[in-house]
Amino acid sequence: MSKRILVIIVALAVVIGGGIAVLALSPSTPEAAPQTTPTPVVEVAPQATDEAEEEEAAEVTAGAYVDYSDTALAAADGTRLLFFHAPWCPQYRAMEEDILASGVPDGVTILKVDYDSNQALRQQYGVTLQTTFVELDAAGNSVQTFVAYDEPSMSAVVAALL
């Protein structure tokens, strides 16, 4: 066999092996319908002493962590936070782990918005980094923004926005 053919065979083997390695190491995320990620809910018995406090306690809704959709946004009660994330981002992964571990505060709905596929929403709210949280008012306007890139934790989000 000539050197040229041998070099071509080795180069093809390296390219094919590299492609297989990349596919094996990359996380697989199916492009399926949005799914709701359950958030642990801890119920505490209200210790209200009068009827006004009992009514107020009954109005508090458990926190929720759901995938963004127009329907989910319209159905969200209380404080609504858009969470712009990118599945490939390590800060996003750390943030999501913390959300799932610590839970979402009562009366708050966090709507996960895919950073890479929702450019129109990114432009609408001026988002330039993944792990950005945007608090919305009832009309859907931005109230305030917090980027959790440097400190991806639910406690940082609560301190900055809630």
pLDDT tens per residue, range 116-147: 999 999 999 999 998 999 999 988 899 999 99
Location of structure tokens 């709701």 = 36
Q: How long a stretch of residues is the chain?
A: 162
Region 57-161: CATH code: 3.40.30.10
In the prediction, which pLDDT does 162 show? 77
Which residues does the chain have with pLDDT short of 50? 29-49, 52-58
Nearest-angstrom CA–CA distance, 99 and 110: 10
Nearest-angstrom CA–CA distance, 67 and 132: 15
In the prediction, which pLDDT does 46 show? 46
Query: Where exactly are the structural domains of the chain?
Result: 57-161
